[in-house]
A and B are shown apart, each in its own frame.
Chain A
């Protein structure tokens, strides 16, 4: 079968399944990521608020009632090294937001009684800042703000970890789905492949409906559609064949009438008009031959009931050969029959095989010039039986070789009066016998070789 750019069911299924799956994975990843980072942030923020509380606990009011921070470097180091990747900052602000101690953080100055969280830019880094509001012990009217700030590295690390641990399984799942779909589709389509095999293994002539029971439920309608098509095809072929046969039949009687009248006139005619009448007779003979060929063609179409049996191709060929020797002699053509010593058995219909060989020999003689040679050879081996008819006539050009098997196809420029049906008949009969017809050029380079290859075994 030809590979065309047809849609594949597998690709279709993947196209339809993957985007939803992918977006579902993506959506769930996004949601999971946001939830994770929310919870992560939340715990980091609590810690930061606690740290701010710890800093606040170190604030003392000095004698000039100015807040003083009792934060020895060791304590600060502990605070700063909570997260090894992050920098820690703090700042203590007065109630009027003037800085009392710590780093000079820019901050949102908001008077909030609950811990207030925000992001600020500091030294080119984004910081998370937690600010708490504290009344100072023993000075209930005195309020300070303590801000603790840290860089976001640890938070980002955690978020990335979470993201990674969500995404990797998702991607693995996705890959697995692709594999499973491909595999499943292949498995699922096996019954379609079976169906295809059931169709392609058939002989040309076999237009019987498919067995619906072998088809899976889903392709049942396809199978019945195919069966319906096969049925229509068979009916059409039958009708066409009947038409050809009937037309040929119906043409013969009036033609016989014309022929009879021409011959009556011929008997009564003078020499002069006799020549003209001979031309008419030639026309009648050609037409009559054509009609006979049409009938043969209609009958050799494979759906016809041919009676197959084991026959000796040798006998048939020599019979046909002796019938055609007369025509060959008229053109002084030598017919060489290369006869094998033992019978060559093929499984076939005697009448149509005879017709096949007659047409091949007829053609060879017809298209070979005076004093030419036509040879017939039959050989057999374990591959099959081979009938070869060779002539040293003008030959068939390479580009015409396909077309000469078409009905009524005639090579341009040929003067010979053939019916144009000979090789079409050969092809039909060969097909009915599961035989192959090949056209080549003889080793001498001039002429035509027709090879008909019959299968060795009895066809199914």
Chain B
């Protein structure tokens, strides 16, 4: 999943990027409202974390413009503005969640999971495909009661594929959701990860078919 983080405090932003990358998200970091707006317009993100006190263009304005232009991704406001009125303003401008600084990383990640669960998995706690189950609460994949030991990158790809299980996912989409502005993931690297993932999920009777030149497809082998 690819997340946009718009935060002008470099110290805090780096910390969040570090933590989220560690959890398997691809995170783009921008420091101004204008950059946030142009990133949102050009790249398809799964979620955006928006500070309100951004230079150049205020976070609230980025939010309003984005929503006015039809952006539907979940947006979480992360700000020091703690007033009830400001919270209401933020949510009414189109945000899906509001978290104030300082915050616990745990809570930020839980809110991200919650937002993505709603947006991508229709609030399903467990997504089942064949005998493979994906737990959206803990972001783990398991088969029967056994948790599959997946790397964050493998998990990230599985998350993309299982959202559209039984349908083709074009490889550009995968690439887009794994890359960041700084690190571009190559098709080759994706292919290698998918190769490993394929092995790990095969015992659950699920395989990943490669549609050459096109993309990938999650299907049951039975």
| Chain A interface (Cβ < 8 Å from any Cβ of B) | 249, 252-257, 259-261, 263-264, 267, 284, 288, 291-292, 295, 299, 351
Contacts and interface: CB of A to CB of B under 8 A. Distances in A.
B95 to A, nearest CB: 18
Contact of B104 (A252, A253, A259, A267): A259
Interface string B8-20: 0101100110110
Contacts of A252: 80, 100-102
Contacts of A253: 9, 11-12, 80, 101
Nearest to A284: B102
Tell me the dominant secondary structure on chain A's binding face.
Answer: helix
Interface of B: 9, 11-12, 15-16, 18-19, 22, 80, 82-84, 100-106
Given A263-B106, A292-B82, A295-B82, A256 B101 contact: yes
A264 B12 contact: no
Given A253-B9, A254-B11, A295-B82, A264 B102 contact: no
Q: Which 3 A-B pairs have the closest CB atoms?
A: A260-B15, A257-B12, A256-B101
Contacts of A288: 102
14 contacts: A249-B80, A253-B101, A257-B15, A259-B103, A259-B105, A260-B16, A260-B18, A261-B18, A263-B105, A264-B15, A264-B18, A264-B22, A291-B102, A295-B82
Contacts of B106: 263
Contacts of B18: 260-261, 264
A295 B12 CA distance: 21
Contacts of B100: 252
A291 B82 CA distance: 11
Contacts, number: 53
Nearest to B108: A260
A249 B53 CA distance: 10
B103 A256 contact: yes
B65 to A, nearest CB: 24
A245 to B, nearest CB: 10
Given A257-B9, A257-B12, A264 B82 contact: no
B105 A257 contact: no
A59 B215 CA distance: 170
Residue among A253, A260, A267, A291 with the highest chain B CB neighbour number at 10 A: A260
A259 B104 CA distance: 7
B79 to A, nearest CB: 9
Contact of B12 (A260, A267, A291, A299): A260
A295 B16 CA distance: 25
A252 B102 CA distance: 6
Contact of A351 (B19, B80, B84): B84
Nearest to B80: A252
A355 to B, nearest CB: 11
Contacts of B9: 253-254, 257
A264 B11 contact: no
A264 B109 CA distance: 12
Given A263-B105, A263-B106, A254 B12 contact: yes
B12 A256 contact: yes
Which of B9, B12, B22, B102 has most chain A Cβ within 10 Å? Answer: B102
B104 A263 contact: yes
A261 B83 CA distance: 26
Nearest to A354: B84
Contacts of A264: 15, 18-19, 22, 105
Contacts of B19: 260, 263-264
A284 B105 CA distance: 13
Given A254-B11, A263-B104, 20 more contacts: A249-B80, A252-B80, A252-B102, A253-B12, A253-B80, A256-B101, A256-B102, A256-B103, A257-B11, A257-B15, A259-B104, A259-B105, A260-B12, A260-B19, A260-B105, A261-B15, A261-B18, A264-B19, A284-B102, A299-B83
A270 B84 CA distance: 39
A249 B18 CA distance: 24
A250 to B, nearest CB: 8
B77 to A, nearest CB: 13
A295 B106 CA distance: 24
Contacts of B15: 257, 260-261, 264
A353 to B, nearest CB: 12
Nearest to A289: B102
A256 B11 CA distance: 9
A255 B102 contact: yes
Most chain B CB within a 10 A radius of its CB, from A257, A259, A284 = A257
A352 to B, nearest CB: 11
B7 to A, nearest CB: 8
A149 to B, nearest CB: 109
Nearest to A296: B82
Nearest to B8: A253
Nearest to A351: B84
Nearest to B103: A256
Contacts of A260: 12, 15-16, 18-19, 105
A259 B102 contact: yes
Contacts of A284: 102
Contacts of B103: 256, 259
Nearest to B19: A264
Contacts of B84: 351
Contacts of B101: 252-253, 255-256
A358 to B, nearest CB: 13
Contacts of A295: 82
A288 B106 CA distance: 16
A14 to B, nearest CB: 59
Contacts of A292: 82
Nearest to B106: A263
A90 to B, nearest CB: 115
Nearest to A250: B80
Contacts of B83: 299, 351
Nearest to B107: A263
Query: In the complex, which of the residues B9, B11, B80, B100 has the most CB atoms of chain A within 10 Å of its own CB atom?
Result: B80
A260 B19 CA distance: 8
A243 to B, nearest CB: 15
